[in-house]
Structure 1
Amino acid sequence: MKIFDAIKTEDVETLQAMIAVNPNCLNVTDARGFTPLIMATYMGAMGITKVLLAQNIDINAKDGSGNTALMGVCFKGTREYADILILAGANLDDTNMNGTTALAFSATYNKMDMVKYLLDKGANKLIKDKEGNTALDHAKSKGYDTIIAMLDG
């Protein structure tokens, strides 16, 4: 069994055994460039995520598009995962290949609770992507009035 199979099936015991035999298995990526942590958070596998965070992993590692695990959970609006990632040291203001931040993803996909949460945690709302747009600009382009009000203050 490969590490990504253990993650997809949420097989914590197998994952722990794999790590014990070969700790370097935590450094592999799949075809999309997903790390084990990115895959676990994307799949919503909390038990696996906690096991991975207990290891010496790069919490800010990026996939093939430059996205981090935090960006993925913000895109999905999964606050519980964002909380444990931030507590473990995830960079709030990291950008992907397009210059998009976790806050911009949250604003673009109308994740109001996540926008508020990230702002409360200190996310920088002034970061511009490669097109010159901030999270506020993305919210305005979609007409998300509540998020616009949060970001325009």
Structure 2
Amino acid sequence: MRTARMLLWGALATVVALGLSACAPASAPPAPEESAVSDATRDLLAAATDGDADAVRAALDAGADLEARGEGGMTALVAATKANHVGAARTLIDAGADVNAKDDIQDSAYLYAGARGHDEILRLTLDHGADLASTNRYGGTALIPASERGLLSTIRILLDAGVDPNHVNNLHWTALHEAIVLGDGSQTYVEVVRALLAGGADVTIRDGDGVLPHDLATARGYDAIAALLAG
């Protein structure tokens, strides 16, 4: 009799436990990962990379995150700028994209457009709050790599905007030093040096080894540039 009573109580306890379990609220589904990117944002990054301005606009209309980061920490605007997709970049900037937001290697849309001579996008960034004092991973302003590459029209845009022609980067070079040391002394670089001088470049600033721009040009046989620097 005692064994039967114990079995009965055990069965009742099981029933009660099952009933309580059934009444308990269902556990909430796990929250999505905070880093998960919405479909619209993925579409935005892809459209910016491809240069599809209509798809960029559609993704923005669908609620895409304008400042989300893709490969290499690039925002949609940086991706569009690196591919020189002017229409996509304009759409993003008009929507409020940050022209100074940098990727993992410290390139912003403004800095990259200046360094690569993407003049249409560069003008857009300047019209929308580009930080003229911002620097790349080498500590250089946009003017310095533009001068290195002989991008004369870009140099003029940057100087007209007010970029400091005498900023010294981590290599202890100004734009003038880079135009001489990394240029080829051709007529293009003669005009680059002329533009830098007209924009206020200081010929008395020495490089990290204490060498003047004039002496750098002379040592390389860049006589036309040396003549400009001699005044």
Give me the TM-score of the superposition, normalised by structure 2: 0.61
Helix, strand or coil at the partner of 1:72: helix
| Alpha-carbon separation, structure 1, partners of 2:128 and 2:163 | 16
Alignment CA distance shift 1:151-1:16 (3 Å):
same
**Counterpart AA for 2:72:** R
Tell me, yes or no, if the aligned pair for 2:90 and 2:121 is still in contact at 8 Å: no
- Aligned to 1:32, the other structure's residue is in SS state helix
Kindly indicate whether residue 122 of structure 2 is the aligned counterpart of residue 85 of structure 1. Answer: no
Does 2:172 align with 1:132? yes
Segments of structure 1 that go 5 or more residues without pairing to the other structure are none
Q: Percent identity?
A: 26
1:104 aligned to 2:118? Answer: no
Distance apart, 1:45 and its partner CA? 1.7
Distance 2:191 2:87 in 1: 33
Q: CA deviation at 1:125?
A: 0.7
Partner Cα separation in structure 1 for residue 87 and residue 98 of structure 2: 18
Q: Which residue of 2 is the match for residue 118 of structure 1?
A: 158
Is residue 88 of structure 2 the alignment partner of residue 14 of structure 1?
no
CA deviation vs aligned residue, 1:54-106 (integer Å, no higher than 9, x gap): 22322101111111112212222122221111111112221012101110011
Q: In the alignment, which residue of structure 2 is the partner of 1:65?
A: 105
CA contact (8 A) 1:40 1:46 kept: yes
> Contact 1:103/1:115 (CA < 8 Å) preserved in 2?
yes
Alignment deviations for residues 28-69 of structure 1 (CA, whole Å, 9 cap, x no partner): 222222211111122222221121112232210111111111
SS at match of 2:72: coil
Q: Does the CA-based 8 Å contact 1:116-1:150 persist in structure 2?
A: yes
The whole-number CA distance in structure 2 between the counterparts of 1:52 and 1:32 is 19
Equivalenced residue count is 152
The one of 28, 42, 58 aligned to 2:82: 42
Q: CA deviation at 1:132?
A: 1.4
Question: Equivalent residue for 2:46?
Answer: 5
- For structure 2, which runs of at least 5 residues remain unmatched after alignment? 1-41, 199-231
Contact 1:71 1:105 in 2 (8 A): no
Call closer, same or farther: CA 1:115–1:11 in 2, change over 3 Å. Answer: closer
Match of 1:147 among 180, 192, 199: 192
Q: 2:48–2:77: 8 Å Cα contact kept in structure 1?
A: no
**Counterpart residue identity of residue 146, structure 2:** S
Structure number, greater radius of gyration: 2
* Superposition CA RMSD, Å: 1.7
